[in-house]
Structure 1
Amino acid sequence: MTKIVVDVSLPAYKYKEMYKGSVKGLVVQSRDGRKIQLPLLAFQQFVTMQGVYGSFEVEFDDNKKLVGITKLR
């Protein structure tokens, strides 16, 4: 299993535009410099009235498939 940490700052209006449109993924840069694309729906549980903000731990299996995302405090 691989875990990386990403910081996300996505205002609500941008999330809504992306959700309504044809955008399926969110490209983010991990703290160690890697760029990854994550499914936008993976962040749905973290959307607030302000959008999606915070640091998240992203876990992948050995086949680089997304296992889960946890918001860090």
Structure 2
Amino acid sequence: MQHIIVDISITPEEWVKLYQGVARDVHARARDGRSVRFPARILSPFFLRDGIHGAFRISFDANGKFQTVDRL
């Protein structure tokens, strides 16, 4: 299994757009410099009143298929 670490800051207003499907993917820069895109829905468990903020480890298989996400 492979993983990337991203620092995320999504305001509640931005999350509403993602949640409603206006935007479906989150675009971020991994700590190793890679530009990454992943489905916003994987961050749903981490949504709080002030949005989603923090560092996350996103794990995926050799084919690039999402496996798990953990807050660090």
Q: Which TM-score band (shorter chain)?
A: over 0.9
Deviation at 1:65, TM superposition (A): 0.7
* Count, aligned residues: 72
Output the CA distance in 2 between the equivalents of 1:44 and 1:60.
Answer: 17
Mapping of residues 20-59 of structure 1, within 5 Å:
20-59=20-59
Gaps of 5+ in 2: none
Gaps of 5+ in 1: none
Q: Under a length normalisation based on structure 1, what TM-score does the superposition of the two structures give?
A: 0.92
Instruction: Supply the AA of the counterpart residue of 1:34.
Output: R
Q: Under a length normalisation based on structure 2, what TM-score does the superposition of the two structures give?
A: 0.93
Aligned equivalent of 1:12: 12
Q: CA RMSD in A?
A: 0.9
